[in-house]
Amino acid sequence: MKSTPAVVLVSGGLDSATVLALAARDHPSMIALTFEYGQRHSHELSCAASICRNQGVSDHRVIPLDASLLAGSALTGGGEIPRPESIEVIGSTIPDTYVPARNTVFLSMALAVAEIAGAADIYIGANAIDFSGYPDCRPEFISAFQTMARLATKCGVEGVPLSIMTPLINMTKAEIIQCGIDMGVDYSMTSSCYDPSDSGQPCGSCESCLLRAEGFAEAGVVDPLVGASV
Amino acid sequence: MKSTPAVVLVSGGLDSATVLALAARDHPSMIALTFEYGQRHSHELSCAASICRNQGVSDHRVIPLDASLLAGSALTGGGEIPRPESIEVIGSTIPDTYVPARNTVFLSMALAVAEIAGAADIYIGANAIDFSGYPDCRPEFISAFQTMARLATKCGVEGVPLSIMTPLINMTKAEIIQCGIDMGVDYSMTSSCYDPSDSGQPCGSCESCLLRAEGFAEAGVVDPLVGASV
């Protein structure tokens, strides 16, 4: 167990719920950060709150971000860019769901919070396997961010070994789910769908729903969000 | 003259007014960004607007930032940390006016804006001479940020040579002022004071006022903000 708190980016998805549980194993307390930036799927935000409550996080901060900053993606804005229909396109090029500089902005804000709170470890559920098309989910990006962060901050300059923790980066979706199940993560509280109904029901057909379904099937576990019907 | 717009961080201070003029020489258009993050000296914000109008910037964006993100400094928050009184402490250690991860957060947001706008050059008035105590004003930080930015973004991965431009980084305050005067920068519109009056008059005694006064004296130019009386 480390002696300092961790800062954890919690989007409300399956990956970040797992990361939060992993961070909790090693830190006495956590500061969870969720960004509100004009996501189409704002249902994620209430999932993030539920996950934090469920995992006993007392310091959960929802940070508003000017939506125009993170525009230019099929996940944000007015819907000018259609989402890709097929799962085959994932990994071949940078997907339309890429949000310019998103992880850089999120991690920078987490860095500010971490320095103020005296936290050395910042957790993010970046994954290079299922979404290898996102440049800011690659290990080389994370490593470059960490180098920059140590040079950027007073704590870094003074020798605090600031780390960007990406425990999921090389795991398959099935491995992430198995890891979370082993730690008791309740995946019924998570949201993966790019286009859920008003009540939060997943569409079942977007690429994120398909990746999630594949992951649960491969892990041999029923997704509590969709029940035994899938 | 380059073919793409530039993104320029404009705080309302003397340095950023100079940087804006330098960027304008090489770019067909500019996007100026000013952050509102609970500065004690909000007079800076109106200076930023005046500078942009004066220099013909049509796209000036004021971006609100959760003030608690950039806390823990003598420049923000409720005044728990007193500002240093004496100019001698500058450069010897990291000053109390250091705002955790400020330039990282600002540059990250500028990166998002740049990628969306198709801009390759991001300008910041970082200076390593007068304020060498700030870790995020050092050339090694800027270089690390640029490396990270190229890995973080779709445009970077696709070969756009994203650059963090710091034309002032090794200039003295006097050199910056001389450079700006040569380009016709109107320094009467800038604000440097940490604690101006309600009408925007500088206090004349904080370390930022002292550095400014020293710079104008060394450049042999009268500061239009204080007139011939200084």
Tens of pLDDT along B45-62?
A: 999 999 999 999 999 999
State the DSSP H helix or E strand holding residue B107, giving kind and residue range, or none if neither.
Answer: helix B102-117
- First vs last C-alpha separation in chain B: 39
Does the pLDDT value for residue A165 go beyond 90? Answer: yes
Q: Report the SS3 class of residue B63.
A: strand
User: Cβ A148–B71 below 8 Å, yes or no?
Assistant: no
d(CA A208, CA A25): 28
Higher pLDDT, A109 or A42: A109
Domain B6-222 sits in CATH 3.90.1150.10: no
Could you give the CA distance from residue A172 to residue B29 in angstroms, rounded to a whole number? Answer: 45
CA angle, residues A175, A195, A219, in degrees to nearest 5: 15
Q: Does B128 touch chain A (CB under 8 A)?
A: no
Q: What is the rounded distance in angstroms from the CA atom of residue B200 to the CA atom of residue B45?
A: 11
CATH topology of domain A6-220: Rossmann fold (3.40.50)
Pairwise CB contact (< 8 Å): A112 & B66: no
No. of helices (H) and no. of strands (E), chain B: 7, 5
Contacts of B152 in chain A (CB under 8 A): 101, 103-104, 135-136, 141, 144-145
Measured between CB atoms, which of A71, A112, A140 is closest to B151?
A140
Q: Could you give the angle at the alpha carbon of A9 between the alpha carbons of B136 and A125, nearest 5°?
A: 105
Chain B CA closest to residue A99: B112
Q: Residue A80 — φ and ψ, nearest 5°?
A: -70, -30
A94 CB neighbours in chain B (<8 A) are 154, 157
Residue A131's pLDDT is what? 60
What ipTM was estimated for this complex? 0.88
3 state SS for B13-44: CHHHHHHHHHHHHHCCCEEEEEEECCECCCHH
Kindly list the residues from chain B whose CB atom is less than 8 angstroms away from the CB atom of residue A107: 108
Asked if A130 reaches chain B (Cβ–Cβ under 8 Å), the answer is: no
A213 or A40: which leads in pLDDT:
A213
Bridge partners of B9, per DSSP, are: B33
State the pLDDT at residue A38. Answer: 74
* pLDDT tens-place string over residues B9-40: 999 999 999 999 999 999 999 999 999 887 66
> Closest to B152 (Cβ–Cβ): which among A66, A136, A154?
A136
- Across residues A78-103, what is the average pLDDT? 60
Which tokens belong to A196? 């859920």
d(CA B137, CA B134): 6
Q: What's the confidence (pLDDT) of residue B47?
A: 95
Q: Which of B98, B107, B147 shows the shortest C-beta gap to A154?
A: B98
pLDDT, mean of residues A60-77: 70
Chain B nearest C-alpha distance from A111 (Å): 6
Candidates A148, A150, A155, partner chain B, best to mutate (most B CBs within 10 A): A148
Structure confidence at residue B64 (pLDDT): 86
pLDDT of residue A71: 63
**Which class for B109: exposed (0-12), middle (13-18), buried (19 or more C-beta within 10 A)?**
buried
pLDDT computed for residue B41 by the predictor:
64
Is the pLDDT confidence value at A16 over 80?
Answer: yes
Task: Tell me the pLDDT of chain A averaged across its residues.
Answer: 87
Q: How far is CA B191 from CA B86, B172, B197, in A?
A: 20, 18, 11
Q: How far apart are CA B222 and CA A102, in angstroms?
A: 44
Q: Residue A205 and residue B97: Cα distance in Å, rounded? A: 51
C-alpha to C-alpha distance for A120 and B156, rounded to whole angstroms: 28
pLDDT of B84: 45
User: Whole-prediction pTM value?
Assistant: 0.89
The answer to whether A11 touches A131, Cβ cutoff 8 Å, is no
CB contact (8 A) between residue B157 and residue A148: no
Chain A residues 85-114 with CB within 8 Å of chain B: 94, 98, 100-105, 107-109, 111-113
What's the pLDDT band for A195 if we cut at 50, 70, 90?
A: confident
Domain boundaries, chain A: 6-220
- Residue of chain A whose alpha carbon sits nearest to that of B70: A112
Mean pLDDT score, A35-45: 80
Give how far the C-alpha of residue A140 lies from the chain's centroid of Cα atoms, to the nearest Å. 18
Residue B132's pLDDT is 59
Is B151's CB within 8 Å of A157's CB? no
Give contacts of A 170-229 with B, CB under 8 A.
Answer: none
Please list the pLDDT of chain B residue by residue as tens digits (230 residues): 999 999 999 999 999 999 999 999 999 999 999 998 876 668 889 999 999 999 999 999 999 887 777 665 555 544 444 444 444 444 446 777 788 899 999 999 999 999 999 999 999 999 988 665 889 999 999 999 999 999 999 999 888 889 999 999 999 999 999 999 999 999 999 999 988 888 888 999 998 899 999 999 999 999 999 875 44
* CB-CB contact of A73 with A81 (8 Å): yes
